[in-house]
Amino acid sequence: VLKGELGTSLPPHLKSPQVCEDDQDNCLQFGADIRLSAVKVGQCYRLEWFSPVNVTLTDCLDYGNDSWYGGPENTRQYWPFNNMTFDMFSYITKQDQNQGVAEPYWLTSSGAYVYVNKTVPLFIDSNNLYSNGLCLISQQSPPYLPRTGSYLGYKVCMYNDAKQAHRNAVLNDLGKPTGIPDERMVQHPIWSTWVRFKYDVNATAVKAFAQDIVDYGFNNSQIEIDDNWETCYGSAQFNKSRFPNMASLATDLNAMGFRITLWNHPFINTECKLFTTLKNKGYLVKDQSGNVVSSWWDGQGGVIDFTNPDAANWYLNRRRTLMKNNKIDSLKMDAGESSWLPQIPSLNASIDDQPNAFTSAYVRTVSQFNSMIEVRAGHLSQDLPTFVRMLDKDSKWTFDNGLPTLLTTLFQLNLNGYTLVLPDMVGGNAYGSDVVTKELFIRWLQANTFMPSIQFSAAPWDFDNQTVEISKKFTTLHYAYSDKIISQMQKCVKTGIPVNTPIWWVAPKDKVAHSVWSEYMLGNDLLVAPVVEEGAVSRDIYLPRGKWRDQVDPQHKVYRGPQWLKAYSAPLDTLPFFTRVGKKVEDDEEM
């Protein structure tokens, strides 16, 4: 049962409603202009506020004693969600707090879920306006455009447990992927130039990096040239001083066993000659006054308007030509959040769908390239057979966008319906004064091992021979389980069941499991418990109900859950993981 308070932002004189004359069973009238409808449909209640005037509408839901899941991607991805605090936070895709994915979906450990209608100009408040609760706020203020009348609509659905609730959310609201990404990206590591070279990347550096990868005996999915390869940002033409002959370099890299991917983005900087051409064609996003210029991390420029079919096709064709002429296999797509647009944007979409319509159009356009594409944003795009990359992680041990959030962001994306998760680079991005230490690198790689894909940029040989050998151990382990990962992806296409889940997925009534954030599942029968605390050489591990075989112990001891394994030994070269013995959790039928 969910409890809360409805209409909290209404003025006091409107808090004594009357039954609506024309719909007495399901409707309450608040004054002359505000109406609340509550209709039961199956296991759900559909609640909708309507008003012909501009008014803020607010409903607050009590977290109670439950754990809540879902919500937006965030730099401080605390778990469960009810440990997070938000203050009138706009619910759009945006750079602020790394909100690349923000589906309006929340799931409770007792088996309820909340899903907000996509047309609501939604803000959220957590643990602020309402103590120990989530407030859903409909308000016609930036970054939203004014609408006709005011509306807040959502549904609350009740099931026996969180697993059953989420499966029905997938079926009725979230959707599931229609296919899976490139399998080699699952099997072998992606090697990016970003952390290693940042902006100082060139053909010589890329070839030397590739040679090191080969010489140290590592496999690869592809090598990724990240940033500062263009003549100017958005030109989609190679800077000849850095890459004199990209096609020749690609031939050399292919001979070494590499495919090549290229960092890309939706921007065109003002210093590019192409900027004026695109502006005159109407291919750039405008704000409400017609301005097309906004700022992003690599300068000032325009943003291709992917809600304009002609602009989207131009973008596709120019990149396809780039890829063909330079033997590029695919692209790493960056940005896509609506906050990078000139504000408030004017898009070729219903006002009710703005500004998130840009993100949807962007990721749907670029996903047409091929199965190696990766994006970092999403909106109502869970059906795409495309890797969704976590936003950049910092090289830290803390919940301040560091290693712990590798796990909790994995859960957040999976439970938002984005189950084809591409974790960020091993060790994080080494921004500012952050340093990727040997210990952080190894523990990050271990935590990543049973996730869908591994990305390196800082390299094992940057540290010492022990790090090289430990890294080979875990990339080999990842490859050994890659068929299982691919199988879970294929199962997700059929059922929508997440590839990696919190451990409560296999024990949905287990109240201890509900709050465990530092362990995860691959499927129903493999439990992973990485060390994510600096300096730790042991950890407590919770095993849910069932028999679990210790895969690290040479004797493969079997434990019966539920139980805690206290101070389980996990020196630097050890990743604790367990496989289920005996009766399996029932496979989830096709949905």
**DSSP string of 178-230, one letter each residue:** SS---HHHHHS-EEESHHHHTT---HHHHHHHHHHHHHTT---SEEEE-SS-B
What is the per-residue pLDDT for 32? 87
Confidence tier at 591 by pLDDT (50, 70, 90): very low
Residue 586 has pLDDT above 70, yes or no: no
Using pLDDT thresholds of 50, 70 and 90, give the confidence band for residue 22: confident
**Over the stretch 229-279, which tens digit does the pLDDT of each residue have?**
999 999 999 999 999 999 999 999 999 999 999 999 999 999 999 999 999
Q: Is residue 301 part of a domain?
A: no
Whether 157 maps to a domain, the answer reads yes
pLDDT of 221 reads: 98
Mean pLDDT of the chain: 96
Is residue 530 located within the same domain as residue 489? Answer: no
What pLDDT is attached to residue 103? 97
CATH of the domain at 53: 2.60.40.1760
Is 178 within a domain? no
Residue 524 lies in a domain: yes
Residues 113 and 153 in one domain: yes
Radius of gyration, CA atoms only, the chain: 25
Query: Does residue 365 surpass a pLDDT of 50?
Result: yes
Confidence band, pLDDT 50/70/90 cuts, at residue 590: very low
Question: Are residue 95 and residue 122 in the same domain, yes or no?
Answer: yes
- Four-CA torsion 66, 67, 71, 77, nearest 10 degrees: 150
Same structural domain, 57 and 204:
no
Count of C-beta atoms within a 10 Å radius of residue 374: 25
What are 450-505's pLDDT values in tens digits?
Answer: 999 999 999 999 999 999 999 999 999 999 999 999 999 999 999 999 999 999 99
Residue 415 resides in a domain: yes
Domain presence at residue 295: no
Question: What CATH number does the domain containing 583 carry?
Answer: 2.60.40.1180
Higher pLDDT, 348 or 14: 348
Last residue of a domain, one of 495, 529, 547: 495
Q: How far is CA 168 from CA 114, 115, 158, 159, in A?
A: 12, 12, 10, 9
Point out the domain boundary residue: 140, 173, 206: 173
So what's the pLDDT on residue 510? Answer: 98
Helix (H, G, I), strand (E, B) or coil at 70: strand
- Say whether both 362 and 474 belong to one domain: yes
Q: Identify residue 585 by its one-letter amino acid code.
A: V
Are 115 and 257 members of one domain?
no
CATH of the domain at 202: 3.20.20.80
> For 327-389, where are the alpha helices, taking DSSP H only?
357-366
SS3 260: strand
Three-state DSSP at 97 gives: helix
163 and 191 housed in the same domain: no
pLDDT of residue 7: 94
| pLDDT above 60: residue 289 | yes
* Domain of 470, in residue numbers: 183-265+329-339+354-495
Residue 297 lies in a domain: no
Q: 485 and 536 in one domain?
A: no
Q: Report pLDDT for 108.
A: 98
The candidate with the shortest Cα–Cα distance to 323, out of 388, 237, 258, 244, is: 237
- Averaged pLDDT, 99-112: 97
Claim to verify: residue 381 and residue 456 sit in the same structural domain: yes
What pLDDT sits at residue 14?
83
Q: What angle do CA 108, 110, 116 make, to 5 degrees?
A: 35
Question: How far, in whole angstroms, is CA 119 from its chain's centroid?
Answer: 21
302 within some domain: no
Judged against a pLDDT cut of 50, whether residue 310 lies above it is answered with yes
Q: What is the pLDDT of residues 565-580, one digit of tens each?
A: 999 999 999 999 999 9
116-123: average pLDDT: 97
Listed residues 495, 515, 543: the one ending a domain: 495
Residues 131 and 248 in one domain: no
Q: What is the count of structural domains for the chain?
A: 3
Q: Quick one: 90 and 234 in the same domain? A: no
Whether residue 561 sits in one domain with residue 433: no
Q: How many CA atoms lie within 13 A of 250 on its CB side?
A: 19
